[in-house]
Structure 1
Amino acid sequence: MPGHRSITQAEKLAAAKLGGAPIRAERMAAVANIYRAASAVRQHLENSVLRGADLTWTAFVVLWVVWIWGESETRHVAEEAGISKGTLTGVSRTLEKRGLVTRAAHPTDGRLVLLSLTEEGEALMQRLFPAFNDEEGFVTAQLTEEECRSVADGLRRVVLQVEEQGEERRLALLDGAAPAPRRSGRRPQR
């Protein structure tokens, strides 16, 4: 791809830039490659199988979570999808307008909202997932079945490390302080 910067080239440039700084190059490469692989896979799937269904990655993941778990509280869907509740609100409203999900008040707690697939949403996932899985096969084609199991296991352990010890680590790094509020990238006008 013209103008495309290779991952190998980036790793060499980073090593040169850091010079003799004491870094864990293998750990840096692992984290950088997790991010780059996730981005490449997401972009490929959005531009191939999901585009035909007019879905973003996030919308597909929300549909997937509700398809697998069944009717669920929005807070659980957001957590499983790895998105904020605010993002889920926008995505679920769009999916609801398209007739793919329904949003309903929780029967015993009116503050909670439940999401479920409509018949049309169920039919879409039944049609779409086999094509999605074919593309999962495409993007992992250079790996053997054993390598796929090994990568999946290693990534599960990365997720578990963050889930089980991430909060404790964050507190230690910040001396128990709350993290600074997220910024939108905009700075106040002077």
Structure 2
Amino acid sequence: MSGHRSITETERAVQAKLSGFKLQREQMAAVANIHRAAAAVRQHLENSVLRPHELTWTGFVVLWVLWIWDDTETWSVAEEAGISKGTLTGVARTLESRGLVGRAPHPEDGRRVLLSLTPEGEELMENLFPAFNTEEAFVASRLSPEECLQLADGLRAVVAQLEEHGEQRRQELLAGAEPTPRRSGRRART
């Protein structure tokens, strides 16, 4: 069977597949649903409010970071957006070619680069964000305002756990070794 499966169908299939494993099921459900919700929200926002402006999710996040923080070094934009510097380079070039982002050398070190919104980028964000927020409200409309705040607090706790202890945990799991480089999924050529 292929095609779209509901969250209920997926949870039943997972339960059946993993019934013999000793697992921390509540935590597994929380993390799995963080992923599912993030993917569903991203897809909805890309297909509804971002696509008419020819923006990807990543492009929007880069614009958002620059809108909030003004002139920002590339490494910081990449970190805030949760992307690699290599990915940022391509996204920033695209946004720059559209006149939404500008780049300038850092005033103290010409090897470093600052990114900023152009007036066109600023205008786009001022016009786009109210529509984006309307869709955020749609996405969360089954939750009461109190439940939205509880959810935000819970997700903030997950992020704080990783910010405060994630690196130490990674070091423990990898016995101090650096993570292996990411691969595309393709097998190495011989």
TM interval, shorter chain, is: over 0.9
How far apart are residue 174 of structure 1 and its match?
A: 1.3
Q: Could you say which residue in structure 1 is the equivalent of 2:134?
A: 134
Structure 1 SS opposite 2:115: strand
For the pair 1:8 / 2:8, whether they are aligned, the reply is: yes
Equivalent runs, 1:74-85 vs 2, <5 Å: 74-85=74-85
Equivalent runs, 1:1-190 vs 2, <5 Å: 3-190=3-190
**Which whole-Å CA distance do the structure 2 matches of 1:189 and 1:134 have between them?**
48
**Which whole-Å CA distance do the structure 1 matches of 2:157 and 2:184 have between them?**
31
Structure 2 SS opposite 1:115: strand
Amino acid in structure 2 at the alignment position of 1:155: L
How far apart are residue 180 of structure 1 and its match?
A: 1.7
Q: Give CA-to-partner distance per residue, 1:139-184, whole Å, 9 cap, x none.
A: 0010000000001110011011111100100111111112122111
Higher mean displacement: 46-55 or 177-186: 177-186
**Which whole-Å CA distance do the structure 1 matches of 2:25 and 2:8 have between them?**
13
**Which whole-Å CA distance do the structure 2 matches of 1:168 and 1:149 have between them?**
29
How far apart are residue 20 of structure 1 and its match?
A: 2.5
Amino acid in structure 1 at the alignment position of 2:87: T
Structure 2 SS opposite 1:187: coil
Off by >6 Å, runs of 4+ in structure 1? none
Where in structure 1 are there 5+ consecutive unaligned residues? Answer: none
Amino acid in structure 1 at the alignment position of 2:165: Q
CA RMSD of aligned residues (A): 1.1
Where in structure 2 are there 5+ consecutive unaligned residues? Answer: none
TM-score (norm 2): 0.96
Q: Give CA-to-partner distance per residue, 1:38-67, whole Å, 9 cap, x none.
A: 000000000000011110000000000000
Aligned pairs, number: 189
TM-score (norm 1): 0.96
Amino acid in structure 1 at the alignment position of 2:136: E
How far apart are residue 80 of structure 1 and its match?
A: 0.7
